[in-house]
Structure 1
Amino acid sequence: MLFDCERLTLARRLRGLRKNQVAQAVGTTPKAIGRYEAGAQAPEEPMVRRLAIALGVPVEFFQGGRSRVSLDGAHFRSLRSTSQIERDQALAYGRIAADVVGALEDLVDFPAVDLPEYAVSPDEIAGDGPVEAAKVARKALVGEPGPVPHVVRLLESHGVIVLVLPEAAERVDAFSADVHPRPMVFFNPAKGDYWRNRFDGAHELGHLVMHADAEPGEKIVEDQAHRFAAEFLMPADDIGGELPASADWGRLAELKAVWGVSMAALLYRARTLKIMNEAAYRNAMSMLSSRGWRRREPGPPKALEQPTMLTGAIEIVGAAGTDRDRVALRARVTRADLDLLIPRR
């Protein structure tokens, strides 16, 4: 059989394993696994079968996938907070997702990708670039003042693939990848916070709008995406007159419900717009911490915004006779991995 060495690397990363762990599972050496992955040596058929069992994929998985999408330029929130193994695993799920999307696009029509582009230099520390980018994005994607009703639905309606990472990759924060033909945004399943998840979505949109060429993980680039998200979700012209100058918790709770952002984000916004001075902001954040609200703010929990585009596409093709098993076969992924990425609703 033909053996695609890149698919072995993909399968290993998908399972969050190191080369020595795979080698031990199949009875060979880490150097041998390295040669297989580099394409310097093709494994014999018995070894291919052992690799398939150890990695939980069919033998056919190693014959090659649909695409060679690279997610190397993905924007992770912090490169220090997660290990390379964890990031590799998350990116492997992204590769699998791209193959599933490719298989579905042969069968259904997704919304066209029509995100605006507003490049902001990764060296710009204090300029207005992120704010102007957010204004351009709001005009193109929202078109009216006030709160953004549903961030995930907005992304999907403009052609972005939105997925929730499987629990195996829950230590990886939200990240995005501006890949052809469709940009992708992945959410952390463990965060479980409606308001912070919406901010994450706007943050990743900022990367897609501003940072086609920026080096991922740079602090300045992440700060720019934060500033973009703040203006996108809480435009200065709309919210400036509503923010309190001190920690009025009742008022902040009302604004949180209306604007769909956390009280911490509202306090930060009041500070950056110079409505709240530095001392008042620090006192408010100290009180948030002392009350345990930095981890979980007061008020009833709210269900996260959920992506529906891929689930809907699978339901459409299923009704036409292409069930999940056939979608997985067309995408050359396992049915189990497809179900992890796109759960039934």
Structure 2
Amino acid sequence: MNSRHRSPVQVGDVAHLFDGRRLRLARQLAGLRKNALADKVDKTPTAIASYEKNTKRPAPTTVAQLSLALGVDPSFFLPGPVELDFSDVVAHFRSLRSTTQLARDQALAYGLATVEVSATLERHVEFPSAEVPNFEVRSDEDSPEEAANLLRSTWELPTGPIPHLVRAAENRGVLVVFSAPASASVDAYSFEGMSRPVVVLNPAKRDYYRQRFDLAHELGHLVMHTDAEPGSAKIESQADRFAAEFLMPREQISYLLPAKADWGQLQRLKEVWGVSLQALLYRSRALGEMSEVTYRNAMMFLSSKGWRRQEPGVMPVLEQPSLLPGSVALLESSGVDPWELAEESRVPLDLFRQICSRSPRYMPEDDSNAAQENLPSGVVSIFSNRN
């Protein structure tokens, strides 16, 4: 029987089985603080907190109000495929000072919803085992570079450029998804999920080269910083060094890097290695192939040409994830409706489709600018972006 014709879950049953952690998930996905949600359902913030901590269960009428206020089906509040533990998840956001707590909470909730969707799909499709080694960073001297080479070795990557970094990560069990349009204020981020590592990419700048470096940066966090306090300049620098070595290993690229700003040669290297001109210049200086003066002059030239914002040449299409979307397509070909999978995951269908999309969904340019300029928090309800 098609799930669209199943008997709906009774609100009274949801009240008895209510999981407060899923209320917190829905609230953060919607970009609401406790007091804002309390106002919507005519309750106190203390009551909302008690529901989320499972110290008090809401009445059936309150469940219905919460469902309506948050734009989710009452069944969303039933225990899901993954036991959520917010206290055990440490996400690495690029800059904690420039990103509000509300925006980070919303972004992390999106990542946790991704874990739930993945856990549901893994009931029906076999996923690759997660293969991300843990490398303790003892000191800044060579440690990030050693970690990058360890990951290349563990993943048995070939010598030279990595042709499709997203696919390489997915083949080793890393969940890679695009963020929701509402999270445009949050850069790429990562965390160790309850079942497997997760990287959420922000495609707002639509930059193939930036996306690859972002993914390599986040892989650095997953390898080196599982227990580190996120957001510090030190660990962000370590992740950048990891990304540079991972994408452009010293032994494989140093002899190719020009000592002077040979733009033709740099452009050719950019196309082959899948990194930006700026990354190549920085790498050339870091490896001692280019002097500090030459590097600074080259960067000044980049700025004068407007290339720091948009480099010359054709921009390749963003690398696309295939693990989740491919699984959905496989199941759909076997007669399983995505609606059924979304229901099993306990997430709204539009959110399920966003998480399992091969291509990013862009907020219209004007709306994106308005969201960033008029809302200091940068938060818009993820559920508002319905197709």
2:32 alignment partner in structure 1: 17
Matched residue count:
342
For residues 323 and 148 of structure 2, what CA distance do their matches in structure 1 show? 24
How much does 1:195 deviate? 0.4
Q: Which amino acid aligns with 1:326?
A: E
- Any idea what SS the aligned residue of 1:162 has? strand
Structure 2: tracts of 5 or more residues without a match: 1-14, 360-387
TM-superposed CA distance for 1:160, in Å, is 0.7
Q: Are 1:111 and 1:157, in contact at CA under 8 Å, matched by a contact in 2? A: yes
CA distance in 2, matches of 1:158, 1:319: 25
Distance 1:252 1:320, change over 3 A: same
Within the candidate set 17, 20, 26, 1:5 is matched to 20
User: Quick one: which amino acid aligns to residue 319 of structure 1?
Assistant: S
User: Residues 180 and 50 from structure 1, CA distance in 2 versus in 1: closer, same or farther, beyond 3 angstroms?
Assistant: closer
Q: CA deviation at 1:300?
A: 1.5
Quick one: distance in 2 between partners of 1:84 and 1:230? 29
- What is the aligned partner in structure 2 of residue 272 from structure 1? 286
Q: Percent identity?
A: 50
**1:70, 1:95 within 8 Å by CA — same for their partners in 2?**
no
Does residue 139 of the first structure (1) align with residue 153 of the second (2)? Answer: yes
- 2:109 matched to 1:92? yes
How far did 1:242 drift? 1.1
Report whether the alignment pairs 1:330 with 2:347: no
1:18-49 alpha-carbon deviations (Å, 9 max, x no partner): 22222222233333323322334322211211
Q: Which residue identity is paired with 1:343?
A: S
Q: CA deviation at 1:340?
A: 1.6
1:194 and 2:211 equivalent? Answer: no
Secondary structure class of the residue paired with 1:298:
coil
2:21·2:84 contact (CA, 8 Å) conserved in 1?
Answer: no
Return the letter of the residue paired with 2:59. Answer: E
Amino acid of the structure 1 residue aligned with 2:181? E
- Asked if 1:231 is matched to 2:248, the reply is no
Match of 2:131 in 1: 114
Residue type of the partner of 1:45? P
TM-score norm. by structure 1 comes to 0.95
Match of 2:355 in 1: 341
Structure 2 length as normaliser, TM-score? 0.85
Q: Is the 8 A contact 1:166 1:189 kept in 2?
A: no
Runs of 4+ in 1 over 4 A off after TM superposition: none
Amino acid at match of 1:264: Q
Instruction: State the distance in 2 between where 1:185 and 1:86 align.
Output: 17
Q: Give the match's secondary structure for 1:163.
A: strand
Distance 2:48 2:270 in 1: 52
1:242 pairs with one of 253, 256, 264: 256
Distance 1:286 1:98, change over 3 A: same
Contact 2:112/2:193 (8 A) holds in 1: no
